[in-house]
Amino acid sequence: MNRPITGLFAMFVILFAVLVGFTSRWTVFESKSLRDNPLNRRVLLEELEINRGEIKAQDGTVLAHSVKAAGKTWKREYPTGALFAQTVGWSYPGQGITDTGTELYRRDVLLGRSNSISSTIGRIQGHKKQGGSVKTWLDTEAQKVALRSLAGRAGSVVAMDPRTGAVRVMASVPDFAPSPANLARAAKSSGSPLLNRVTQARYPPGSTFKVVTAVAAIDSGQYTPTSTVDGKSPQVFSGVPLNNDDKVSYDNVDLTTALTFSINTAWANVASDLGRVTMAKYMSRFGFDSKPQLDYPPRQMTASGARVKGSIVPPTDDRVDLARLSIGQDKLLVTPIQMMEVAAAVANHGVLMQPRIGDQIINTDGQSSRVLPEEQGRVMRPSTALAVTEMMKKVVQEGTGTAAALSGIEVAGKTGTAQIDPLQNLTQPWFIAFAPADNPTIAIAVTVERSFGGFGGTIAAPIARDVMEVLLRNSPGRRIP
């Protein structure tokens, strides 16, 4: 009877080999796809057991930290409440809410998923439940001032150091204190408080865009600040008459005056003369037509530029009315951070730095590393930057932006007042600026939605002044590595 026993044993060897084969299939060969299976909650449960690291402001204020929750899990809290709601974002994976903002962008660091060798050893030892932390450039005091100055009006303030790209203020109103309950409420709110207006809103920039046209004019070599252009009102562009503010007519006016008093027809003439290709070139150097290069989730950012049926079209496209584009009208829609970058490029001698929320990454092992400043690119020659700075100084000294003037510190800026609904007299006031004008450490953009007859110079410029005042005090011209 031994022959069949051998056969039987062989069969069981094969059956057990099949078991080993299938176990290998799940543990090794299909392990990854099983982990990615939407029904598999293990990845999420693991995440809940990690003490996600802190997010801090530049002064060390804790903006986000984790506290003990049920079982071995942790939950996120935001001690500063609404102060940096959209900028820091939120993380409530247990509630099925997707991460946003810095919480999302720095997710791997915060969860301790860095790739250093020591962490790998830590993982083998099983000590992987602590995440790393992130120190940002954000300034709590200036942010408070920004929110207080907006005083509940929908709008945004964004400011950075033009030399490094360090983002100091990023305020978006309406705001809310992140919590699962508030998020559910905010998602239904008509004011879209979940939106980070600094990076996601699309507004007509109004006359602040004339800075871009001015840079293109002078840097192309075709104009100087003293070149004169026709500023009569009205003039016909693309078959439709264009007026200056209050229909004031200027005969031959130089570019400095044209910027100081924001003369529409003069800049429309300049842009028509420069042509589509030159305008397209400078816009793209400033970062228009693509998403901001901010350390922030791409899906929470939008590109600035002329939009036809929702999609960006370059100024070289015939559907774009170049003359009106050059004064921030027509199809042009921009984000506040883009307009702040316009001011920053001029402030930093023509070099645009990539904006950065993050300053330092401190991983689980306590090793810290700086987020290094990086150039986004040279937008204009230093001489152009200098010339445009002088023109923007005049705006604050004697033009439309006098409300932004600070005592003892020179400010360079440009106002904008986009018409939203002329019948109801609704406007979108803007102000972009940098200071101190000769050695800038702050670039800023302020805008307010749906102001009732307000102007950039009266509504936005005072907010910019208040925020800059705090920031200049907090960063006294120090050079950051």
Partner 1 sequence: MSDRNRELFALVPASLLLVGGFAAVFIQDSATLSSVSLSYGAVFLGLCLAGHVVVRVTVPHADPYLFPIVAVLASVGLVVIYRIDADLARAQAQWFVVALIFFAATLIFLRDYRKLERYRYTIAAASLALLLLPRVPGLGQQANGAFLGVRLPGGIVFQPTEFAKIGIVIFLASYLRDTRQVLVQGARRVAGITIPKLKHLGPLLLIWGAAMLMLIFIRDLGSSLMFFGGFLAVLYVATDRLSFPLIGFLMFSLGAWFLATHVGHVHDRVDAWLNPFDPVLYDRPGGSYQLAQSLFAQSDGGVLGKGLGASILTLPGGGNLVPAPQTDLIYSVITDELGLTGACGVILCYLLFVARGFKIATIARDSFSTLLAVGLTSVLALQVFVIVGGVTRVIPLTGVTLPFISYGGSSLVANFVLAALLLLISDRARRPA
Give contact residues for partner 1 (rule: CB under 8 A).
Answer: 1-5, 7-9, 12-13, 15-16, 18-20, 22-28, 30-32, 34-35, 37, 39-42, 45-46, 48-49, 69-73, 94, 126
Distance CA 274, CA 283 (A): 13
Note every long-range contact of 398-401, with CB atoms under 8 Å and residues 24 or more positions apart, other chains counting: 398/260, 399/259, 399/260, 399/261, 399/262, 400/207, 400/260, 400/261, 400/262, 400/455, 400/456, 400/457, 401/431, 401/433, 401/456, 401/457, 401/461
Shortest spacing between CB 20 and partner 1, in angstroms: 6
3-state secondary structure of 262: coil
The strand pairing partners of 358, in sequence order, are: 136
6 versus 407: smaller Cβ distance to partner 1: 6
Shortest spacing between CB 69 and partner 1, in angstroms: 7
**Do the strands 133-136 and 358-362 form a parallel or antiparallel pair, or are they unpaired?**
antiparallel
Distance CA 226, CA 208 (A): 20
Residue 284 CB coordination number (10 Å): 16
Shortest spacing between CB 74 and partner 1, in angstroms: 10
Most distant CA atoms of the chain, gap in Å = 118
Distance CA 88, CA 100 (A): 8
Neighbour-count burial of 229, counting CB atoms closer than 10 A to its CB (0-12 exposed, 13-18 middle, 19+ buried): buried
48 versus 147: smaller Cβ distance to partner 1: 48
Neighbour-count burial of 122, counting CB atoms closer than 10 A to its CB (0-12 exposed, 13-18 middle, 19+ buried): middle
Shortest spacing between CB 93 and partner 1, in angstroms: 11
67 versus 423: smaller Cβ distance to partner 1: 67
- For the chain, the distance separating the N- and C-terminal CA atoms, rounded to the nearest angstrom, is 85
34 versus 195: smaller Cβ distance to partner 1: 34
Shortest spacing between CB 386 and partner 1, in angstroms: 60
Shortest spacing between CB 37 and partner 1, in angstroms: 6
Q: What are phi and psi of 237, to 5 degrees?
A: -125, 135
Q: Which amino acid is at 180?
A: P
Shortest spacing between CB 295 and partner 1, in angstroms: 31
Whether residue 436 is preceded by a cis peptide bond, meaning omega within 30 degrees of 0, is yes
39 versus 117: smaller Cβ distance to partner 1: 39
Q: What angle do CA 113, 117, 122 make, to 5 degrees?
A: 65
Shortest spacing between CB 115 and partner 1, in angstroms: 18
Whether residue 422 is preceded by a cis peptide bond, meaning omega within 30 degrees of 0, is no
Shortest spacing between CB 1 and partner 1, in angstroms: 5
97 versus 406: smaller Cβ distance to partner 1: 97
67 versus 70: smaller Cβ distance to partner 1: 70
Residue spans of alpha helices (H) in 220-275: 255-260, 264-274
Shortest spacing between CB 98 and partner 1, in angstroms: 19
User: Nearest to residue 217, comparing CAs of 352, 339, 326, 325?
Assistant: 326
8 versus 308: smaller Cβ distance to partner 1: 8
User: Nearest to residue 203, comparing CAs of 259, 155, 171?
Assistant: 155
Shortest spacing between CB 24 and partner 1, in angstroms: 6
41 versus 473: smaller Cβ distance to partner 1: 41
E strands, 356-401, where? 358-362, 368-370, 375-378
49 versus 59: smaller Cβ distance to partner 1: 49
Shortest spacing between CB 448 and partner 1, in angstroms: 44
Distance CA 425, CA 389 (A): 32
18 versus 187: smaller Cβ distance to partner 1: 18
20 versus 423: smaller Cβ distance to partner 1: 20
